Structure 1
Amino acid sequence: MCFGVEQGKAKKRFSVEFYQPIYQIFDIRLENSKFTCRSLSEICSLISDGTHHTPRYISDDKHGIHFISVKDVREWEISFEKTKFISEEEHHKLAKRCSPKTNDILLTKIGTIGKAALVPSNPPIFDIFVSVALLRLNENSISPPFVTYFLNSQVAKIQFSRVVKGIGVPDLHLEDIAAIKIPIPPLNKQIELVAAMDEARSQRNQKLAEADALLSSLDDYLLKTLGLESPVKDERKVFAIQTSIISGRFDPHFHAPNFKKIYRLLSKTTTKKLGEIVQFSKDSWNPKDEEKLTFRYIEISNVKPQTGEAIWTETLTKEAPSRARMLVHGDDIIVSLTRPHHGSIAHLSEEFDGCIASTGFAIIRSVSKLVNREYLWCILRSQLSLQQMLQRSSGGNYPAITKTELENIIIPIPEISIQEQIVAEIQRRRSESQRLRSEAESGWQAAKQWFEEQLLGGS
């Protein structure tokens, strides 16, 4: 590709990539915006990032302080569900650098770049890592939600991609973030744009919630179809058991009354142990033997517990995590061995063939003819199975189950016709869920394009 740069148009940078035609065209669109363009440095009183040193983490999630890194920041959302924690003493040290507060904006800057989230009202106390930038506006005439929508737009992402550094791990430097240009409409126009985008985002979230509910409510349908009643929880902490029924495990957790009710329920139907109806795959992968520069990696966090849906992450082979060792194929069922009761269990479609999964998964490859594979996925994700996994797990904050213990999970085996009925309903719900997700995303992308056109005009 050959292209030129007009005399006087060259800026501080002299790299060929910086002056690619797509960026020059974008410069013209920014210049032609009907609104004044200002840099983030002009509208922010603070542009900083978190500590550049890895702090000492603690396991106390009740008294610890949330520590936010790039994985905890998504478009418009700061997730506090799976953060690491630091001590209050560590927090007081880090807060001297930057202390996030309501209406600050977090922006991911290392690894996954360009995802912006607004700090909500009354957030829990938290600190940030170097992979996250903090932006604090200095003017009342600029709406923080408006700037957040802008930073999540293609208008901002093109600017990010133009200045990002790093070969293996993308890195947005603070000075480059500060130089990002943003068209600034009058405040009343900002409020109008934010209201429209809030409505579009609300509609998107509603459709996504409906899609999730279709899959997460399968448990109730499953029990009803199997002719079983949902067991009443028994949370007693003090109980007695007969010594004659103790075998193998002596810990009180294993013999808790709540688990006993599961087995009483299962005794009313035909069952088999999981190890009697499946075989686990031992296929492994070694990054040293991989010729490709990247591979598709499935870690435990890539499986959504609420729905059992999986995604992969394109990962550099030379940076393969030590646990990226399990070769999977389409139609495999992967079961998380860490916190298995959370339900991170996925039935992989053919597009996952050749992916690499974490050793934190058990890979079910062969399934008995007595069991429909889709039915097995559904029953493994039901509370009938998840509670058994919790019972057979060991460990404190991160309970895990071994494959041997997983093989002892009791699986109800109804007639094939009943299994097929359940599978038909699963497929119906999955199809409807996919339709809702598709509508949610297409509507959201249309709204984002409209937002950008309001700032820059048509392309």
Structure 2
Amino acid sequence: MVECFSINLIDVESRLDPNYYRLEFLEIMDRFNDSEFQFKTLKEISSKIKSGSTPKSGGPAYVNAENGIPFIRSGDINEYNSINFNKILYIKPEVHNNSLKGSKLKKGDLLIALVGATIGQVSVYNDENEANINQALALVRLNEEINPEYVKIFLLSKLGQLQLNRIKRPVARANINLEEIGGINILLPPIEIQNDIARKMENAYKTKKEKESKAFEILNSMEDFLFQELKIRIPKSREKMTFVVGSDDIEGRLDPFYYKPLFNELYSELINNESLNTKKFGTEIESIINGMDYREFSDIGLNYLRVSNIKPFEIEYSDVKKINLPITDIKKDIQLKKGDILLTRKGTYGIAVCVNADLDDIISSEIFRIRLKQDINKKYVEIVLNSSIGKLQFDRNKIGAIMGSLSQESIKNLLLPVPPIEIQENIIKEFSYKMSESTKLQEEGNKLIFETKNEIELILGV
């Protein structure tokens, strides 16, 4: 929707982009001035505001986890302060101590995403170990009398996010600079209130995590049920540093990872069990196609689904991007129909969801649209692809060491067990029930976080 407004010349600051002067942003200072608490800028309450830099991708600066320093990027952080150290990059200690010494992290440092899809995300680094950041993150080292958890909570509040939304530049790849980060205002109640707010939020996060753990247990039991119904064993081989492969078993790949005994166990289970009627997935596929690459995002238009929007069994729309492009202008046949399978192919690869209705959503080039033949149960396929049966095969067939990806050919070569239809339907029925129970727990956790944030905003009067 087109917005038209005027401002006085005296109100024009260093920025000339119209978005910066929208009415909701101009009213921000009134809300600070009306508060019973004092406020200061991040620059005034911190001793350091700094971003890192990024060594050349795949270059000599990177090393394995055992010999390296955690290198945290904007996509690695979240409001729960949880970083998956198994999925991040690592840099050499000499890079950490020399060219990137200015962006070394300390426990309690505030992290703010400056660019890209996660712009405006805020976290606190709570690990004792050394770490570093790339240029897409700001490190804010707060003064000792300020609770970093409180500042994080404030920046994630409506008033905090309004400020971040104001200063980010509405271009193809939105960004914020460090000077603008330093100019963000923070309401500062007494430290006792800051600590109390941090405790409230911590308790809410803890309860949410407990509910998610129960939900995860339910999801895990779903896989046990799947293997029980298919009458196959879940491969549980220990990781082996050395193993022998016969020359007759060598295929087109020469990397040792491809021949791990764990993969061979799964293939043996699938092939040798005649009741499974195991087929090459390609024989059940009518068509498979990549989506389209598009970077010019808009506030209106069609939903543009990226890898981050594809979750097991669902499409997540909370952070979906939009593209202002008529669907009739898209020449590529990537429309989504009920029963299509969406499968992520790059980065977080091998995540599948079955489309439940015809959609006008557009998928990115890093997602496959798989259209199956009419005589196979689409929901059953979705379940198998998201199980260890799919995951182990995806892991085996991926290409690329740093950011794995899947090819169309590797998808067609997947082994798919196709048991009698009554077994498929029994699996789907049990999965539907357990998914409902799991979803209920997750929704309860999300509701608690929402209610706690509202309670905190009432305390702050924002």
Where on the TM-score scale, by shorter chain, does this alignment land: which range? Answer: 0.7 to 0.9
Q: Which residue of 2 aligns with 1:334?
A: 342
Task: Name the count of aligned residue pairs.
Answer: 441
Measure how far apart 1:128 and its partner are.
2.8
C-alpha RMSD of the superposition: 3.8
1:238 to 2:223 alignment: no
| Distance in 1 of aligned mates of 2:414 and 2:39 | 62
CA contact (8 A) 2:291 2:367 kept: no
In the alignment, residue 90 of structure 1 is paired with which amino acid? V
| Distance in 1 of aligned mates of 2:225 and 2:290 | 35
Among 34, 37, 43, the residue aligned to 1:35 = 37
Measure how far apart 1:46 and its partner are.
1.5
| 1:41 counterpart SS class | coil
> What is the TM-score when the length of structure 2 is the normalising length?
0.80
Q: Please, which moves more after superposition, 96-105 or 348-357?
A: 348-357
Change (3 A) 1:82 1:393: closer
Q: Which residue of 2 aligns with 1:258?
A: 262
| Distance in 2 of aligned mates of 1:394 and 1:144 | 41
| 2:174 counterpart SS class | coil
| Distance in 2 of aligned mates of 1:43 and 1:251 | 52
Change (3 A) 1:238 1:83: closer
| 1:346 counterpart SS class | strand
CA contact (8 A) 1:273 1:409 kept: yes
| Percent identical residues | 25
Q: Which residue of 2 aligns with 1:427?
A: 432
Q: Please, which moves more after superposition, 347-356 or 438-447?
A: 347-356
1:383 to 2:383 alignment: no
> What is the TM-score when the length of structure 1 is the normalising length?
0.81
| 1:428 counterpart SS class | helix
Measure how far apart 1:395 and its partner are.
5.3
Which runs of 5 or more residues in structure 1 are unaligned? 319-324
Q: Once the two structures are superposed, what CA deviation does each residue of 1:219-258 show, in whole Å capped at 9, x if it has no partner? A: 2110112233334426553336484x77767776555543
1:168 to 2:176 alignment: no
| Distance in 1 of aligned mates of 2:245 and 2:175 | 58
| Distance in 1 of aligned mates of 2:392 and 2:124 | 37
* Aligned counterparts, 1:348-387, within 5 A: 348-350=355-357, 353-358=360-365, 360-369=366-375, 371-387=376-392
Change (3 A) 1:446 1:138: same
CA contact (8 A) 2:51 2:137 kept: yes
Q: Which residue of 2 aligns with 1:225?
A: 229
Measure how far apart 1:419 and its partner are.
0.9
Change (3 A) 1:273 1:203: same
Measure how far apart 1:216 and its partner are.
4.3
Among 327, 344, 352, the residue aligned to 1:345 = 352
Measure how far apart 1:47 and its partner are.
2.0
1:154 to 2:158 alignment: yes
| Distance in 2 of aligned mates of 1:203 and 1:232 | 32
Change (3 A) 1:31 1:386: closer
1:411 to 2:411 alignment: no
Q: Which residue of 2 aligns with 1:322?
A: none
Among 39, 46, 49, the residue aligned to 1:47 = 49
Q: Which residue of 1 aligns with 2:284?
A: 277
In the alignment, residue 189 of structure 1 is paired with which amino acid? I
Measure how far apart 1:54 and its partner are.
5.5
| 2:419 counterpart SS class | coil
| Distance in 2 of aligned mates of 1:427 and 1:221 | 12
Q: Which residue of 1 aligns with 2:63?
A: 60
Measure how far apart 1:190 and its partner are.
1.5
* Aligned counterparts, 1:106-145, within 5 A: 106-111=111-116, 112-129=118-135, 131-140=136-145, 142-145=146-149
| Distance in 1 of aligned mates of 2:298 and 2:125 | 43
Q: Please, which moves more after superposition, 308-317 or 70-79?
A: 308-317
Among 440, 450, 459, the residue aligned to 1:454 = 459
| Distance in 1 of aligned mates of 2:417 and 2:165 | 52
| 2:47 counterpart SS class | strand
* Aligned counterparts, 1:204-223, within 5 A: 204-223=208-227
| 1:327 counterpart SS class | coil
| Distance in 2 of aligned mates of 1:115 and 1:250 | 41
Change (3 A) 1:77 1:351: farther
Measure how far apart 1:287 and its partner are.
5.8
| 2:263 counterpart SS class | helix
CA contact (8 A) 1:336 1:345 kept: yes
Q: Once the two structures are superposed, what CA deviation does each residue of 1:104-133 show, in whole Å capped at 9, x if it has no partner? A: 10111223432211111313422331x221
Measure how far apart 1:156 and its partner are.
0.9
Measure how far apart 1:451 and its partner are.
0.8
| Distance in 2 of aligned mates of 1:55 and 1:240 | 36
Change (3 A) 1:197 1:397: closer
| Distance in 1 of aligned mates of 2:43 and 2:293 | 46
Measure how far apart 1:11 and its partner are.
8.1
CA contact (8 A) 2:281 2:416 kept: yes
Q: Which residue of 1 aligns with 2:102?
A: 97
Change (3 A) 1:178 1:424: same
| Distance in 2 of aligned mates of 1:19 and 1:291 | 18
| 1:134 counterpart SS class | strand
| Distance in 2 of aligned mates of 1:291 and 1:76 | 28
Q: Once the two structures are superposed, what CA deviation does each residue of 1:344-382 show, in whole Å capped at 9, x if it has no partner? A: 223234375432232x4443202351x311111111222
CA contact (8 A) 2:288 2:408 kept: no
CA contact (8 A) 1:113 1:170 kept: yes
| Distance in 1 of aligned mates of 2:309 and 2:180 | 31
CA contact (8 A) 2:41 2:184 kept: yes
| Distance in 1 of aligned mates of 2:451 and 2:422 | 44
Q: Which residue of 2 aligns with 1:22?
A: 24
| Distance in 1 of aligned mates of 2:86 and 2:353 | 21
| Distance in 2 of aligned mates of 1:395 and 1:160 | 36
Which runs of 5 or more residues in structure 2 are unaligned? 326-331
CA contact (8 A) 1:55 1:90 kept: no
CA contact (8 A) 2:305 2:361 kept: no
